[in-house]
Structure 1
Amino acid sequence: MDTNTRPDAVAWIPLAEPAPGVTVRIRATDSHYDAEFAVAGDFVNSSVRTRFEWQDTETWRMILRAITRYEEDDDPQPEEAFTADWPDSPDPARLRFVIGEASRVEIHDGSDSDVFVSVPLLDGQAWITESMKRWDANRADFGFPEGGPKT
């Protein structure tokens, strides 16, 4: 994991409480998009980067909607946790959402070591609402309009 946060990355999505905290930062280059998953806390202070495609931003929104539906389900003790990985790309560095009795986000480093950090997610729907707001606000700036990137 890389401990150097890119200065030109935009803090896009806060996922966990400030300590430990998880933030997804994104940046665009002329040829691709990068995501940086940053974890900050007393025990760990690190980040990992991955590339993603503009289509993955729609996957992000679908994951947030699926988490909302799962949490709003009438069954208070679903038998299986909901899991989803982001981004859906060949690069193995990823976030894994595990939503259930103890909801968390796992930050996988993408190496052959299978090392990951697990952090409890914020309680309730506030983090999802905040993520959706930031997603909507930043999407056009990063070339993610409905239906595809800016041409």
Structure 2
Amino acid sequence: MDTNTRPGTIELIRLAGPGQSVSVRLRSAEPALESLGVRYYDAEAVVTSDFVNGTVHLGFDSEDLSDWGQLLDAVEEAEQDAERAADLEEPFAADWPRSGRAAYLRVICGDPYVVEVRDGAGTGVVVAVPLDMGEEWTAESRERLAAARAALGRTRAG
């Protein structure tokens, strides 16, 4: 956790390379809204780098927690299938949470990875952050997801 993170903050996502990072921090472990068994959470996407620093509201629901786990599965599959990846004209890319509702992240697999923070529904601003995250980033991301699920009372794997 970096020095700008408030104590007690749940950091669901932290994608970092030397000198820059993109993270998603929950504003509260309590849902902002609950409807038909789906919990809606307030969070913020935080970009930190020597060039630009910014924060944008990013809301997600309890279903999106599973989607993050599935995105990590897809990234690992794309990384392991280097032969297929070499045949693709475009690198593997995925959005989290689902695009169009509010700000969201677009993870683009490559060397380096690029994480875009997109505020399409708000300002229309897109910030692209290239990250050399190392080999263990998906395992670390799964640990953060498990910790966030536990803190939110959602321990189901995904």
Partner SS, residue 61 of structure 1: helix
1:15 pairs with 2:25: no
More strand per residue = 2
Structure 1 pair 112/144, CA: closer, same or farther in 2 (3 Å)?
Answer: same
Structure 1: which 5+ runs fail to align? Answer: none
Q: Normalized against structure 2, the TM-score is what? A: 0.78
Q: Higher helix share goes to which structure?
A: 2
In 2, are the aligned partners of 1:86 and 1:94 still within 8 Å (CA)?
A: yes
1:1-150 matches, cutoff 5 A: 9-26=9-26, 27-30=28-31, 31=33, 32-75=40-83, 77-79=86-88, 80-88=90-98, 91-111=101-121, 113-146=123-156
Contact 2:100-2:121 at 8 Å conserved across structures: no
Task: Give the Cα separation in 1 of the matches to 2:79 and 2:128.
Answer: 20
Q: State the Cα distance separating 1:61 from its structure 2 match.
A: 0.3
Change (3 A) 1:140 1:123: closer
Q: SS at the partner of 1:77? A: helix
Question: Which stretch shifts more, 41-50 or 60-69?
Answer: 41-50
Number of corresponding residues? 144
> TM-score, normalised on structure 1?
0.81
Q: Deviations over 1:14-73 (max 9, x none)?
A: 102252211111233342312211011121111111211101000000000100100110
The one-letter code matched in structure 2 to 1:145 is T
2:120 partner letter: G
Q: Distance in 2 between matches of 1:8 and 1:109?
A: 26
Measure, in 1, the Cα distance between the counterparts of 2:29 and 2:59: 10
Identical counterparts, % of pairs: 40
